[in-house]
């Protein structure tokens, strides 16, 4: 008897026709049935005459399946056993407590993401370096693109292309001449024939992330393009969306990011984005998280199919500080996936300090949202920048982000929200509806302020005070207090005080 | 023949009655007449039976005056000669080019202010320390209060009180118990009898500032009060305003700040502020600058009697970045008199770094506004903080502010305004209507960004490039360029590039 674990992948493959266009002319479906669920899924052609169908079971126990399709081998049935999930398998991600996240097994998830847009398309050496950095455990979400990327620092051809055909010549491309306004002459693609090797590269990345407990925030469309992948016809787009869903949906750690900077995809209209969303809602049996990321204009995050707000800052000075307002506006989790990167490139979106990026993470998190990292240090010799290629990390913020995650993990309930506080501090308190009335846990954060002390008034109960140095990554005991009391601080930036009621 | 210099003070004093209440029962006026002006001014009682009237001539040449009043000695006449102003006397301050300032002799004035609210009321030793710091030339404007100050770090009694009487006992006052909600029991004041010594202290401060080329931004009313000076009757207020104007108006370096944090003077209504403004407009013959400073809500700066917008930040994260918007809104000079102070006290308004305060100065200045400094480092032994008492400076920002002033002084025309630029830089260009069309001078500032280089495109002309390190206070030649060119930068915060067209 075959087995798979709960929230693992059960895959059935069959041989079938190679002639004609298997991507458009053949069909394969399966129905998976267990005691508690009946799931219909669509298969896909993986090249070399092989067709596959993938399923992620949500329950333990016995399952059967029935295949059907357009060719003789696309029939048959079988059964398998779903075992308990392994230790690090908590299932797919769900929205929890309205503004937060938890795995399907209810384990809380405090998102600390990073972005390596084009890491899936890099040579093996860089790929291995990226994995070594991810092994250090700084991050628990990664944003990256299915399509290759054409942009400053991204003129090399990807290792593979998503379609059969040949790309435009990339010699002569440079930062000097980069533009979004590309006509795609010189490209020769068959947009009805996928290159399975390209999609297997993406799947390898998803799996490598899954093995490390990292969510794969998959960016399905984006505007950084010299090949025409951003300007296909609606029929070509839809074929792509169906193919992507049938290949990737069974991976438990997948999040669907419909686009990066959707508003720079100038030829796509709102109706297009809504059509992609409809395809996704109809064809993803597992209801993975769905978002659309902006450059300038926010998408309408009140749309019911959007599970969380994936935001890029719209302001150079205030962004994560709007977290609490945007929670109120949209009533969904706020994830700041782009708030400028630690680095030193010429662009303002890529040259803030590790201190400032860490500050933004803390502001976002204490206000009941989440933030994402990126790194853009110039590399004149190899032009490898973490934000796009992966490779090696050079900055100071990743260790601090991991420390923030540790602090967040000590939070009672599911996440924080902004509590009552004065004008010059950000106070995070538990956002759990079942938390004890009146709180009992609060983190006071002073950002770029440098107080030498702060006074607190707690008429009721005994409160344990701890001084958190968010940059030095230390938590220092500051005694147990009641009534009006003063906590001495070192008069430096990026400090916090955590108060926990102990009786 | 008596002489005085243009924009100096010509004072006539006469003896008169001591009996009764000279402040309310006697009058002294004078008319000063020269070839180009005829000015009526009101005198004041200076105690000890001495009455004075002061006049600031605006023209050179021969003047006569006629005294009149309510007592026999209040009559007579005389003449004097007004000579050319001395080298450092440029006259009173005027608004120039709508958003900027110049002395009456048209010398441009780029405001870099500081604040020592209560320095006029401190013991002599602290006073002398303050003057030593001011001698270093960091600042060209000082904000300070006529009335003494009751506030955290300000519980000691002032050296003098403005009225005859006795103050409430100040023993037992502390940070712990400080509140704005004070009843004034324990005070015994005659609000119809001024203490001339108190006002002479203020005049000494004004003169000491004048000697150093520093404008005296006199705060006439404020809410930090345990004596009742903020809650007098309208008649008492008006008597005070007349007295202040008749004593101080002849000093060329006086600016009238009607209040600090007017919106915390809870008992004053808009009609009160408008009444004070009317008294000022009617009785100040020299039309000194007039403003009203907020805590939270801005005063309506569109009022015609307001010469410039004296602002306190309303937002923890954006403030000086609103400079260009507020120029558009009010069409007047924007002076950010409170944008948090360099220091380490507990309050967010007093614990930012020197770097951050300097950054705010640059943002304000390049966007066509001006900023003010303050310093609040804890001093457990003496509790002397520059922001209120003066004393010694401890911070890093004053030298940087002086450096900014030097850069501003090299600006063609009267001041800067925000020019065209990308999202991630602030560009200052000359705000002079008579500057050459298309500019020819621009400062690109990157704030907390850390670019390793920036590209520029100047199809026309040859441009001299200079790299300004606003923190290290250096200006480094970066060659002459045309067309598209790249300027290398050190990848650190607080850098700027100045471009000047040389042909």
pLDDT above 70: residue A437: no
| Min Cα–Cα distance to chain B from A498, Å | 16
Determine whether the interchain pair B450/A351 forms a contact, defined as Cβ–Cβ distance below 8 Å.
yes
pLDDT above 80: residue A438: no
Determine whether the interchain pair A484/B349 forms a contact, defined as Cβ–Cβ distance below 8 Å.
no
Mean pLDDT of the region B196-200? 98
* Residue B178, pLDDT score: 85
Task: Name the percent of chain A lying above pLDDT 70.
Answer: 99
Contact residues on chain A for B452, CB-CB shorter than 8 A: 344-346, 351, 378
pLDDT above 90: residue B412: no
The residues in A 461-500 lying below 8 A from B, measured between CB atoms, are: 484, 491, 493
Burial letters for B471-496: b for 16+ Cβ neighbours within 10 Å, e otherwise?
A: beeebeebeebeeebebebebbbbbb
The residues in B 142-201 lying below 8 A from A, measured between CB atoms, are: 176
In A352-473 the beta strands, taken as DSSP E runs, fall at 370-373, 375-376, 416-418, 426-430, 441-445, 453-469
Q: How confident is the model at residue A183 (pLDDT cuts 50, 70, 90)?
A: confident
| pLDDT, tens only, B82-109 | 999 999 999 999 999 899 999 999 999 9
Rounded CA separation B100/B121 (Å)? 31
Phi-psi region of B97 (alpha: psi -120 to 50; beta: other; left: phi over 0): left
Residue of B356, B449, B453 lying closest to A448 (CB–CB): B356
pLDDT above 70: residue B5: yes
Q: How confident is the model at residue A182 (pLDDT cuts 50, 70, 90)?
A: confident
Rounded CA separation A354/A344 (Å)? 11
Determine whether the interchain pair A176/B356 forms a contact, defined as Cβ–Cβ distance below 8 Å.
no
Q: Which of A346, A366, A487 best tests the B interface by mutation, with the highest count of B CBs <10 A?
A: A346
The burial of B221, by beta-carbon neighbours within 10 Å (0-12 exposed, 13-18 middle, 19 or more buried), is given as buried
| pLDDT, tens only, A259-295 | 999 999 999 999 999 999 999 999 999 999 999 999 9
Q: Which of B243, B210, B190, B253 shows the shortest CA–CA distance to B51?
A: B243
| Min Cα–Cα distance to chain A from B152, Å | 13
Any idea which residue has 């700041």 for tokens? A336
* Residue B435, pLDDT score: 57
| Min Cα–Cα distance to chain B from A304, Å | 32
Rounded CA separation B33/B499 (Å)? 50
* Residue B37 touches partner A, C-beta closer than 8 Å: no
Contact A119, A130 (CB under 8 A): yes
| pLDDT, tens only, B245-273 | 999 999 999 999 999 999 999 999 999 99
What tokens does B400 get?
């940087």
- Which pairs count as long-range contacts for B265-273, CB under 8 Å and 24+ apart, including other chains? B265/B221, B265/B222, B265/B223, B265/B230, B266/B223, B267/B230, B267/B231, B268/B221, B272/B234, B272/B237, B273/B299
SS3 B152: coil
Integer CA distances (angstroms), B257 to A181, A420, B88, B260, in order: 54, 34, 24, 7
Residue of A316, A343, A493 lying closest to B423 (CB–CB): A316
Q: Which of B175, B394, B450, B467 best tests the A interface by mutation, with the highest count of A CBs <10 A?
A: B450
pLDDT above 60: residue A434: no
Determine whether the interchain pair A449/B348 forms a contact, defined as Cβ–Cβ distance below 8 Å.
yes
Q: Is the dihedral of CA A284, A290, A296, A301 positive or negative?
A: positive
| Averaged confidence pLDDT in chain B | 96
| Min Cα–Cα distance to chain B from A143, Å | 24
SS3 B37: coil
Residues 6+ apart with CB under 8 A from A283: A42, A242, A245, A246, A249
In B209-265 the beta strands, taken as DSSP E runs, fall at 215-221, 254-259
Contact B374, B342 (CB under 8 A): yes
What tokens does B105 get?
């002799």
Task: Name the percent of chain B lying above pLDDT 90.
Answer: 93
Mean pLDDT of the region A349-353? 97
In A127-226 the beta strands, taken as DSSP E runs, fall at 141-145, 163-166, 188-194, 215-221
Size of the A and B interface in Cβ pairs below 8 Å: 90
Q: Which of A489, A447, A226 shows the shortest CA–CA distance to A320?
A: A447
Mean pLDDT of the region B349-366? 98
> Which of A44-58, A368-382, A424-438, A459-473 has the lowest average pLDDT?
A424-438
Q: Which of A38, A37, A80, A43 shows the shortest CA–CA distance to A62?
A: A80
Phi-psi region of B386 (alpha: psi -120 to 50; beta: other; left: phi over 0): alpha
Determine whether the interchain pair B450/A318 forms a contact, defined as Cβ–Cβ distance below 8 Å.
no
pLDDT above 80: residue A180: no
Q: Which of A397, A448, A492 best tests the B interface by mutation, with the highest count of B CBs <10 A?
A: A448
| Averaged confidence pLDDT in chain A | 96
Residue B408: strand pairing partners: none
* Residue A47, pLDDT score: 98
DSSP H helices in A295-392: 323-330, 354-366, 386-389
| Min Cα–Cα distance to chain A from B96, Å | 30
* Residue A181, pLDDT score: 72
Residue of A343, A378, A425 lying closest to B348 (CB–CB): A425
Q: How many helices (H) and strands (E) does chain A have?
A: 9, 29
Mean pLDDT of the region A392-420? 94
Q: Is the dihedral of CA B392, B393, B398, B399 positive or negative?
A: positive
Q: How confident is the model at residue A412 (pLDDT cuts 50, 70, 90)?
A: confident
SS3 B460: strand
Rounded CA separation A196/B448 (Å)? 45
Contact B71, B29 (CB under 8 A): no
Determine whether the interchain pair B346/A423 forms a contact, defined as Cβ–Cβ distance below 8 Å.
no
Determine whether the interchain pair B448/A346 forms a contact, defined as Cβ–Cβ distance below 8 Å.
no
Q: Which of A34, A61, A50 shows the shortest CA–CA distance to A199?
A: A50
Q: How confident is the model at residue B176 (pLDDT cuts 50, 70, 90)?
A: confident
Contact A307, A290 (CB under 8 A): yes
CA atoms in the 13 A half-sphere facing the CB of B468: 21
pLDDT above 80: residue B413: no
Query: Strands B76-83 and B61-69: what pairing?
Result: antiparallel
Contact B293, B312 (CB under 8 A): yes
| Min Cα–Cα distance to chain A from B453, Å | 5
| Min Cα–Cα distance to chain B from A298, Å | 17
| Min Cα–Cα distance to chain A from B244, Å | 35
pLDDT above 70: residue B381: yes
SS3 B439: coil
* Residue A316 touches partner B, C-beta closer than 8 Å: yes
| pLDDT, tens only, A202-250 | 999 999 999 999 999 999 999 999 999 999 999 999 999 999 999 999 9
| Min Cα–Cα distance to chain A from B426, Å | 11
Rounded CA separation A454/A459 (Å)? 16
Contact B90, B103 (CB under 8 A): yes
Q: How confident is the model at residue A435 (pLDDT cuts 50, 70, 90)?
A: low
Q: How confident is the model at residue A484 (pLDDT cuts 50, 70, 90)?
A: very high
User: What is the ipTM metric for this complex?
Assistant: 0.89
* DSSP string over B320-364: GGGHHHHHHHH-S-EEEEES--EE-SSSGGG-B-HHHHHHHHHHH
* Residue A16 touches partner B, C-beta closer than 8 Å: no
pLDDT above 70: residue B438: no
Determine whether the interchain pair B450/A353 forms a contact, defined as Cβ–Cβ distance below 8 Å.
yes
* Residue B355 touches partner A, C-beta closer than 8 Å: no
Element (H, E) at B308: none
pLDDT above 70: residue B55: yes
* Residue B199, pLDDT score: 98
CA atoms in the 13 A half-sphere facing the CB of B185: 1
* Residue B351 touches partner A, C-beta closer than 8 Å: yes
The burial of B45, by beta-carbon neighbours within 10 Å (0-12 exposed, 13-18 middle, 19 or more buried), is given as buried
Rounded CA separation B153/B163 (Å)? 23
* DSSP string over B91-114: -SEEEETTTEEEETT--EE--EEE
Rounded CA separation B312/B294 (Å)? 6
Contact residues on chain A for B345, CB-CB shorter than 8 A: 451-452
Determine whether the interchain pair A316/B315 forms a contact, defined as Cβ–Cβ distance below 8 Å.
no
Task: Name the percent of chain B lying above pLDDT 70.
Answer: 99
Determine whether the interchain pair A454/B321 forms a contact, defined as Cβ–Cβ distance below 8 Å.
no
* Residue B175, pLDDT score: 83
- For residue B288, the 8-state DSSP code is -
Q: Which of A344, A400, A345, A407 shows the shortest CA–CA distance to A373?
A: A400
Residue of B176, B318, B449 lying closest to A351 (CB–CB): B449
Mean pLDDT of the region B184-205? 97
Rounded CA separation A279/B366 (Å)? 50
* Residue A433, pLDDT score: 56
pLDDT above 60: residue B221: yes
Determine whether the interchain pair B321/A317 forms a contact, defined as Cβ–Cβ distance below 8 Å.
yes
Task: Name the percent of chain A lying above pLDDT 90.
Answer: 93
The burial of A469, by beta-carbon neighbours within 10 Å (0-12 exposed, 13-18 middle, 19 or more buried), is given as middle
Rounded CA separation B281/B300 (Å)? 17
pLDDT above 70: residue B171: yes
* Residue B350, pLDDT score: 97
Mean pLDDT of the region A297-319? 96
SS3 B19: coil
Any idea which residue has 């207020």 for tokens? B237
Query: Strands B61-69 and B28-34: what pairing?
Result: antiparallel
Q: How confident is the model at residue A132 (pLDDT cuts 50, 70, 90)?
A: very high
Question: Taking the complete model, does pTM exceed 0.95, yes or no?
Answer: no
Rounded CA separation B296/B293 (Å)? 10
* Residue B12, pLDDT score: 97
Contact residues on chain B for A343, CB-CB shorter than 8 A: 450
| pLDDT, tens only, B313-329 | 999 999 999 999 999 99
CA angle B91, B96, B102 (to 5 degrees): 30
- For residue A151, the 8-state DSSP code is B
| Min Cα–Cα distance to chain B from A18, Å | 52
Contact residues on chain B for A446, CB-CB shorter than 8 A: 348, 351
CA atoms in the 13 A half-sphere facing the CB of B429: 16
Rounded CA separation A311/A318 (Å)? 13
| pLDDT, tens only, A103-123 | 999 999 999 999 999 999 999
Contact residues on chain B for A349, CB-CB shorter than 8 A: 424
* Residue B449 touches partner A, C-beta closer than 8 Å: yes
In B162-314 the beta strands, taken as DSSP E runs, fall at 163-166, 188-194, 215-221, 254-259, 290-291, 309-312
């Amino acid at each position: 008897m075959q087995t798979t674990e709960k929230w693992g992948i059960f895959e059935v493959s069959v041989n079938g026709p190679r002639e004609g266009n298997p991507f458009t002319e053949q069909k394969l479906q399966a129905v998976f049935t267990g005691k508690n669920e009946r799931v219909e899924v669509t298969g896909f052609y993986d090249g070399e005459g092989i067709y596959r169908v993938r399923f992620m079971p949500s329950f333990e126990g016995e399952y059967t399946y029935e295949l059907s399709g357009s060719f003789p081998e696309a029939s048959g049935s079988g059964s398998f056993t779903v075992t308990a999930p392994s230790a690090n398998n908590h299932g797919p991600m769900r929205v929890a407590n309205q503004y937060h996240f938890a795995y399907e097994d209810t384990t809380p998830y405090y998102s600390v993401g990073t972005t390596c847009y084009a890491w899936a398309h890099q040579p093996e050496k860089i790929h291995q370096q990226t994995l070594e950095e991810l092994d250090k455990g700084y991050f628990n979400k990664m944003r990256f693109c299915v399509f290759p990327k054409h942009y400053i620092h991204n003129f090399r051809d990807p290792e593979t292309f998503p379609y059969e055909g040949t790309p435009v010549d990339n010699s002569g491309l440079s930062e000097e001449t980069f533009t979004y306004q590309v006509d795609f002459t010189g490209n020769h693609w068959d947009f009805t024939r996928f290159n399975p090797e390209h999609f297997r590269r993406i799947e390898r990345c998803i799996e490598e992330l899954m093995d490390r407990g990292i969510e794969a925030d998959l960016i399905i469309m984006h505007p950084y393009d010299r090949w025409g992948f951003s300007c296909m016809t609606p029929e070509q787009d839809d074929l792509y969306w169906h193919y992507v869903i049938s290949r990737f949906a069974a991976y438990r750690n997948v999040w669907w990011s419909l686009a990066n900077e959707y508003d720079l995809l100038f030829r796509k209209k709102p109706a297009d984005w809504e059509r992609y969303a409809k395809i996704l809602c109809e064809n993803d049996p597992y209801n993975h998280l769905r978002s659309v990321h902006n450059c300038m204009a926010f998408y309408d995050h009140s749309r019911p199919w959007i599970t969380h707000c994936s935001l890029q800052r719209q302001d150079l000075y205030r962004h994560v500080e709007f977290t609490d307002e945007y929670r109120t506006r949209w009533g969904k989790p706020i994830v700041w996936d782009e708030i400028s990167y630690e680095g030193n490139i010429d662009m303002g979106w890529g040259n803030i300090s590790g201190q400032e990026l860490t500050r933004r993470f803390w502001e976002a998190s204490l206000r009941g949202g989440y933030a994402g990292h990126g790194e853009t240090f110039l590399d004149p010799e190899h032009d490898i920048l973490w934000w796009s290629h992966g490779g090696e990390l050079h900055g100071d913020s990743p260790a601090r982000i991991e420390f923030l995650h540790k602090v967040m993990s000590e939070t009672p309930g599911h996440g924080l929200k902004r509590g009552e506080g004065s004008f010059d501090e950000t106070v995070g308190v538990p956002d759990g509806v079942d938390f004890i009335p009146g709180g009992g846990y609060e983190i006071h954060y002073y950002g770029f302020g440098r107080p030498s002390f702060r006074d607190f008034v707690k008429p009721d109960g005994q409160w344990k005070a701890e001084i958190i140095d968010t940059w030095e990554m230390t938590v220092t005991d500051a005694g147990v207090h009641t009534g009006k009391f003063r906590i001495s601080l070192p008069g430096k930036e990026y400090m916090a005080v955590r108060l926990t009621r102990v009786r």
